[in-house]
């Protein structure tokens, strides 16, 4: 393909933005268009390109011209690191990305997530933690997880018990814990849900599209904390409508409390959290039908054959 048009599924003239690949320019020109514009384009294509979508010939192909004016410039981002708990060799990582796409405020993606982590960190300063926790606000997630990649490359992963990545929490009522093929990480979430009698939906299926990925592919167990609206897709995220009026402070506060409890449970001395087995992880990604898309985007790791 020489061009790519991504059509949003939400009403309201909300063209989406995003990235086609990680950390570089894509091979094809791409744009996001609103649901309404997409409907017009489908009608136009179905009519063979005739005016108003009127059919011009049974075998006619619709033609369209796509022009994009954009540049790729060098930029700079930073990871911001804080620490709570004792100064131990073994550490736990608590992450959230603070960057957002520049077409809106990024209040939901991921303003809610970074607010959840900041609030949880305040709670954890009063906790008796058996191991230390590195609280990291990572940058450049939206252009390819670059901050998390740098973090994974520069920390001693042998010292990291696990990762809790808060991307999507605080947006909607009920918390979702994505365990990324780790039974032990899933058990952490279930234990906190049972103890607090708060609903935490646990999903074991992995994916490569958030800041836990640089760690998961290296075998580090992880939880990603999300929240579910019950609707398909990312909602207002990556559109002009991702603004602070959509945020419910009660969700942020509740998810921050649960996040702090999840950190404490993950860090518990009696909890065994083994490394991920590479062959099992590869099988999980294949079972989830990620391989074709990841290879197309050059995300399938070397050695995962």
Query: Measured between alpha carbons, how far is 305 from 166 in angstroms, rounded to an integer?
Result: 30
Q: To which CATH superfamily is domain 80-283 assigned?
A: Zn peptidases (3.40.630.10)
Kindly indicate the confidence band of residue 124, based on its pLDDT and cuts at 50, 70 and 90. very high
Q: How many CA atoms lie within 13 A of 254 on its CB side?
A: 19
Six-digit token string for 163: 């990762």
Nearest to residue 252, comparing CAs of 138, 105, 117? 117
pLDDT at 52: 56
pLDDT at 56: 54
pLDDT at 135: 99
Query: Measured between alpha carbons, how far is 220 from 96 in angstroms, rounded to an integer?
Result: 17
Query: Cβ–Cβ contacts within 10 Å for residue 119, how many?
Result: 18
Mean of per-residue pLDDT scores for the chain: 93
Residue 230 has pLDDT above 90, yes or no: no
pLDDT at 50: 62
Q: pLDDT (tens digit, 9 = 90+) per residue, 127-168?
A: 999 999 999 999 999 999 999 999 999 999 999 999 999 999
Residue 64 has pLDDT above 60, yes or no: yes
- pLDDT, greater one: 238 or 20: 238
∠ CA 156-22-78, rounded to 5°: 50
Per DSSP, what are the bridge partners of residue 84? 133
Residue 264 has pLDDT above 90, yes or no: yes
Nearest to residue 118, comparing CAs of 262, 246, 248, 260? 260
Residue 58 has pLDDT above 60, yes or no: no
pLDDT at 62: 84
Residue 53 has pLDDT above 70, yes or no: no
The residue ranges of every structural domain in the chain are 3-53, 80-283
Query: Measured between alpha carbons, how far is 83 from 133 in angstroms, rounded to an integer?
Result: 6
Residue 17 has pLDDT above 90, yes or no: yes
Kindly indicate the confidence band of residue 229, based on its pLDDT and cuts at 50, 70 and 90. confident
């Amino acid at each position: 393909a020489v061009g790519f048009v991504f059509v949003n599924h939400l009403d309201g003239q909300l063209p989406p933005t995003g990235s086609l690949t990680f950390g570089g320019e894509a091979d094809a020109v791409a744009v996001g268009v609103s649901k309404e514009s997409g409907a017009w384009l489908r009608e136009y294509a179905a009519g063979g390109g005739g005016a108003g979508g009127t059919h011009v010939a049974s075998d006619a192909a619709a033609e369209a011209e796509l022009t994009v004016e954009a540049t790729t410039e060098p930029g700079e981002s930073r990871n911001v690191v804080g620490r709570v708990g004792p100064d131990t060799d073994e550490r736990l990582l608590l992450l959230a990305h603070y960057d957002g796409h520049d077409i809106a405020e990024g209040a939901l993606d991921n303003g809610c997530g970074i607010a959840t982590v900041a609030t949880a960190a305040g709670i954890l300063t009063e906790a008796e933690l058996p191991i230390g926790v590195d609280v990291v606000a990572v940058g450049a997630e939206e252009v390819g997880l670059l901050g998390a990649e740098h973090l994974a490359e520069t920390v001693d992963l042998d010292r990291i018990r696990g990762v809790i990545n808060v991307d999507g929490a605080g947006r909607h009522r009920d918390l979702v814990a994505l365990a990324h093929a780790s039974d032990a990480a899933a058990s952490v979430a279930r234990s906190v849900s049972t103890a607090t009698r708060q609903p935490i939906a646990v999903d074991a299926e992995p994916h490569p599209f958030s800041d836990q990925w640089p760690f998961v592919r290296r075998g580090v167990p992880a939880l990603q904390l999300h929240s579910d609206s019950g609707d398909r897709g990312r909602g207002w995220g990556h559109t002009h409508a991702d603004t602070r009026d959509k945020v419910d402070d009660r969700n942020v506060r509740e998810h921050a409390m649960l996040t702090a409890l999840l950190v404490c449970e993950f860090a518990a001395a009696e909890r065994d959290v083994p490394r991920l087995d590479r062959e099992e992880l590869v099988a999980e990604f294949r079972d989830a039908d990620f391989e074709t898309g990841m290879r197309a985007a050059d995300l399938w790791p070397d050695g995962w054959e």
